[in-house]
Amino acid sequence: MMEYLSDPEAIEKESFRIIRARIAGKNLPPVERTIVERVIHATADFAYAEDLCFAPGAVQSGLAALRQGCLVVTDTRMAKAGINQKLLEAIGAKVLCAFEEEGTERLAQGRGMTRAMAAMRCVASKVHGAIFLIGNAPTALFALVELFQEGKLSSPLVVGVPVGLVGAEEAKKALRATSLPSITTLGPKGGTPVAVAIFHALCHLTLEGRHEKR
């Protein structure tokens, strides 16, 4: 008979034990280490211990916004669906998928841009102080950078980790070149699971901070 772990809590505990042992030698600040661990747990890719980039003060800026119950904007329905609702409710935040905004398709057709770009422009005109999770479309991230440069966007944190061989690396470089607080990945790697894992780590850090203050 095969022997294997079947208890969910035991599996998760052992997974994090393995991750922490493998990255024990990495010189990471505690909050960044928590995020790296969650991303590796979601992807089983230990290269993220090197490939995640944190703008100075970005994590702290995002946590401060989450403590205030800020809005979280995703670039896809998949990312919205992937967010743990219990965690979301526990921190008092709300999530919105940019693709679901009215007028997105009309704007995309009228201005000859991708729906991802149009979605970001539609949302940016209606929300302020939201955290953005971009894990799929590089053009969505390019749009956020352009909106920031136009003075039409402010955000406490942009998680910019789109995946792809066309534009993804360039979009992340463009984001890092701005003063926007950001968490990104190097190269073409990333994706919705990475964006969601980063957000879940931020949720856990937010809750831990609340417990420590009690």
pLDDT for the residue 55:
97
pLDDT for the residue 38:
97
pLDDT for the residue 107:
80
Q: Are 75 and 133 in contact (CB under 8 A)?
A: yes
In this model, does residue 9 exceed pLDDT 90?
no
Q: What is the mean pLDDT of residues 179-203?
A: 97
Looking at 43-57, 115-129, 189-203, which range is the least confident one? 115-129
| DSSP annotation string for the chain | -------HHHHHHHHHHHHHHHTTTS---HHHHHHHHHHHHHH--TTHHHHEEE-TTHHHHHHHHHHTT-EEEESSHHHHHHS-HHHHHHHT-EEEEGGGSTTHHHHHHHHT--HHHHHHHHHHTT--S-EEEE-S-HHHHHHHHHHHHTT----S-EEE----SSSHHHHHHHHHTSSS-EEEESTT---HHHHHHHHHHHHHHHHHHHHHH-
pLDDT for the residue 97:
94
Overall pTM > 0.85: yes
Looking at 9-13, 56-60, 71-75, which range is the least confident one? 9-13
Q: What is the mean pLDDT of residues 75-99?
A: 94
- pLDDT-derived band at 64, boundaries 50, 70, 90: very high
pLDDT in tens, 15-35: 999 999 999 989 999 999 999
In this model, does residue 83 exceed pLDDT 90?
yes
Q: Are 150 and 180 in contact (CB under 8 A)?
A: no
- Written out in words, the top-level CATH class of the domain with range 50-213 is alpha beta
Please, what is the average pLDDT of the chain?
92
- To the query of whether residue 41 is one of the catalytic residues in this protein, the response is yes
In this model, does residue 96 exceed pLDDT 50?
yes
- The alpha carbon of 189 is separated from its chain's Cα centroid by a whole number of angstroms, namely 13
pLDDT for the residue 210:
53
pLDDT in tens, 37-51: 999 999 999 999 999
Q: Which residue has the higher pLDDT, 49 or 4?
A: 49
Q: What is the mean pLDDT of residues 117-135?
A: 91
In this model, does residue 214 exceed pLDDT 50?
no
pLDDT for the residue 104:
77
In this model, does residue 212 exceed pLDDT 60?
no
In this model, does residue 209 exceed pLDDT 60?
yes
| Domain range list for the chain | 50-213
